[in-house]
Amino acid sequence: HNDLRSDLGDDGESWEDGQNVVTYTIGFGVDANLLSETADNGDGLYLMATDAAELWTSMELIMQDVVSRMSSGSAVAVVSTERGDDDYLYRGKFMPGEWGGYLEAFELPYHEGDTPLWEAGQLLAQRAPVDRQIWAAVGGARCAFEPSQAAHLRQAMGVGSVTRAQNIIRWTRGEWVDGYRERSDNWKLGDIVHSTPVVVGSPSTFTLDEEYQTFMDTQASREKVVYVGGNDGMLHAFRASDGREKWAFVPEFALPKLKDIASPDYCHQYTCDLTPGVKDVKINGLWRTILVMGARGGGSGYFAMDVTEPDDPEFMWEIELDDGMPYASEVEFAVVDDNPVLFIGSGVNTDGMAYVYEINLSDGSVEGILELSNIGSGRRNKATGVRTVDLDLDGQADLCYVADMSGAVYRIDLQDSTAPGAWDVTRLFQGNEIITATPIPAFSEDGTVNVYFGTGSYLDEDDLYATRSNTFYCIYDRHNGELGTNLVDQTDEPREPNDYDGWYINLPNPGERITEPAAVVAGTVFYTSYAPSHEPCEAGGHSWLTRVAYDDGSVPDDGEDDGFDGKRRLDMGDGIASRPVVDIVNEEVIVQSSDATITIEDIGQVFFNLEVKAWQETHDDASQPLGGAVP
């Protein structure tokens, strides 16, 4: 046998620390304390059986528990209302090896061990393939993804015959096809790894545009839909009410990969792995709800769909960016000079370049490309995601914040010029650490924009063994044109930071890094970090959730009896943590680990519920009344 923990002694003493190999035991005809302790210390189950029927039942329970220990690489989606009658948590996960996808819905507040209201993968497995509505993009147009369209789809799929194209289409829809990859229990939904579910219901964007109110009224009863990407090559749309798939869509950049996904020799590939971005946008004078999706680790492809009418979405456009590299960022919607656009950070490349792309949202054309840095050919570089700020709440983006792997953070001023080549770009910070997490801007009490970000990367195998130290930063953007170099160290004993350009907190463990954006809420910043494991039997590494005061990085004094117990950091155990997600209504922060474990902690700050007490309307006729009281 193999000794999985050769570093332990052989003195026969029980070792009660957590184990990395899950252990299950069955007492067949005997109730042994040793079996119970073994299962307990091995994070498994101890079951008893006295006959063959009970033994069979015990084995079934063990298999169910094994299946439930799935993986996830994404965050959860939270939908909460003050009414409390429509509060749900949605999360995607996958089964490694089989690469089946799962999408679950839970009621909020969530508690460990809760049973999902529905699971979309199982529901889809029970559906006949012929009953599914699937479309694909070919040549800039939407077409039915059906065997009858094989001649039209064949070339884009990269196969030599119509018959083979038909077989791949049939398999992708969920049919059993001889000579192609076997499915477990008719499972059709592909693995959901990094794509976080996005829930879209009736419109609710804040805007001063009076025409938006008409749009809200028209779409007030729009069905709530969960959108998520799967590595089966599809964007999926599920009914939020019961988990039934409404439709699926295969972008053209995923079509050539379907033959590999259907192959008996399949080795996992990413296809539609990005988190969808959805926004209500005014295009050509009409308010619409637009979804933009991308490949993430599967390439540099993006596509847009108009999902205003979720029963019949309109395909708008598809592009592949010039960098041609994976790990491109989530999209940022913005309005610049009254034109709806997207900002996208460039993917990983080895030419040393990092860019920001501005994309025309209506047709997908590239409006401009801004070069951020060039650190030299042969060196990795990429831009993070972009975040915009509307300083005066007029609906127009005024500033952008973005970082790159050179360790720099930039502010892009959009106010003086809408031409990308003429943007005023200021380097706010330059460090020696790699940045891959999107910087998050938030207003301070005096109106200064604080920019929060962590350092570290986990993009390839080399990153796994990196032991460099990493840091969490807050930079004050005072618009003085100076590089933020005068930062106060708040790692151990926080000090008053007002006379500085910001503050930082060093991560305590070698190789610990931050690769996900922070969450800023109620005067508090939450961020997750993890240290990858080099051991084959450990679950990907170890993670922590940190909570600090947004102004100075100190420990929030909330008086709460919670998991933080008066400290900054909460040990989340084994696994790789997602970004923190905030449930404002239930005043909780939610994190999902790579083993699909969900951790929930109180935000720990007092929320003040805002109510409208009076209003004022502005009229051309000054004699009109100015307002009234709310009963």
378-431 pLDDT tens trace: 888 999 999 999 998 888 999 999 999 999 999 999 987 767 767 889 999 999
SS3 content of the chain, % helix, strand, coil (to 5): 15, 35, 50
155's CB contacts (< 8 A; 6+ apart) are none
Q: Which pairing describes strands 502-506 and 487-489: parallel, antiparallel, or unpaired?
A: parallel
**Could you tell me which of 272, 274, 231, 261 has the C-alpha nearest to residue 95?**
231
- Residue 511: the pLDDT is 93
Using the predicted structure, report yes or no on whether residue 529 has a pLDDT greater than 90: yes
Q: What is the mean pLDDT of residues 119-123?
A: 96
Residue type (1 letter), 374: N
Specify the pTM: 0.84
Using the predicted structure, report yes or no on whether residue 436 has a pLDDT greater than 90: yes
- Residue 46: the pLDDT is 76
Note whether 375 and 352 are within 8 A (CB).
Answer: yes
- Residue 607: the pLDDT is 44
Number of Cβ within a 10 Å radius of residue 483: 13
Angle formed at CA 178 by CA 177 and CA 181, multiple of 5 degrees: 70
**Could you tell me which of 471, 480, 496 has the C-alpha nearest to residue 551?**
496
Distances 74 to 61, 455, 590 between C-alpha atoms, Å: 27, 19, 12
Cα 491 from Cα 471, distance rounded (Å): 9
Q: How many helices (H) and strands (E) does the chain have?
A: 8, 38
Helix (H) or strand (E) holding 180: none
- Residue 77: the pLDDT is 66
Q: What is the mean pLDDT of residues 151-156?
A: 97
Cα 222 from Cα 202, distance rounded (Å): 5
Cα 536 from Cα 287, distance rounded (Å): 52
Query: 390: which 2 tokens?
Result: 């509307």
Cα 434 from Cα 406, distance rounded (Å): 6
441's CB contacts (< 8 A; 6+ apart) are 387, 389, 399, 401, 449, 450, 451, 452, 477
Mean pLDDT of the chain: 84
- Residue 624: the pLDDT is 32
Residue type (1 letter), 588: E
Percentage above 90 pLDDT, the chain: 55
How many residues make up the chain in this entry? 631
Cα 258 from Cα 167, distance rounded (Å): 11
Q: What is the mean pLDDT of residues 326-341?
A: 87
Note whether 25 and 35 are within 8 A (CB).
Answer: yes
Per-residue burial over 243-253, b = 16 or more CB atoms within 10 Å of its CB, e = otherwise: bebbbbbbbbb
Sign of the alpha-carbon dihedral angle for 518, 519, 520, 525: negative
Note whether 197 and 77 are within 8 A (CB).
Answer: yes
Name the band, by pLDDT with cuts 50, 70 and 90, for residue 611: very low
Helix (H) or strand (E) holding 181: none
Query: 222: which 2 tokens?
Result: 């729009």
Helix (H) or strand (E) holding 617: none
Number of Cβ within a 10 Å radius of residue 327: 24
Write out pLDDT tens, residues 62-106. Answer: 655 565 555 655 666 666 444 344 689 999 988 877 889 999 999
**Could you tell me which of 36, 141, 21 has the C-alpha nearest to residue 69?**
21
Cα 581 from Cα 619, distance rounded (Å): 41
User: Under DSSP, is residue 128 helix (H, G, I), strand (E, B) or coil?
Assistant: coil
Cα 616 from Cα 605, distance rounded (Å): 31
Cα 237 from Cα 252, distance rounded (Å): 18
What is the Cα gyration radius of the chain? 26
Using the predicted structure, report yes or no on whether residue 495 has a pLDDT greater than 50: yes
Average the pLDDT over each of 345-349, 388-392, 524-528 and give the range with the smallest value: 345-349
- Residue 74: the pLDDT is 63
45's CB contacts (< 8 A; 6+ apart) are 24, 25, 39, 61, 62, 65
Cα 541 from Cα 531, distance rounded (Å): 5
Q: What is the mean pLDDT of residues 196-221?
A: 92
Helix (H) or strand (E) holding 462: helix 461-464
Q: Looking at residue 435, what DSSP letter applies? A: B
Chain centroid, CA 213 distance in Å:
30
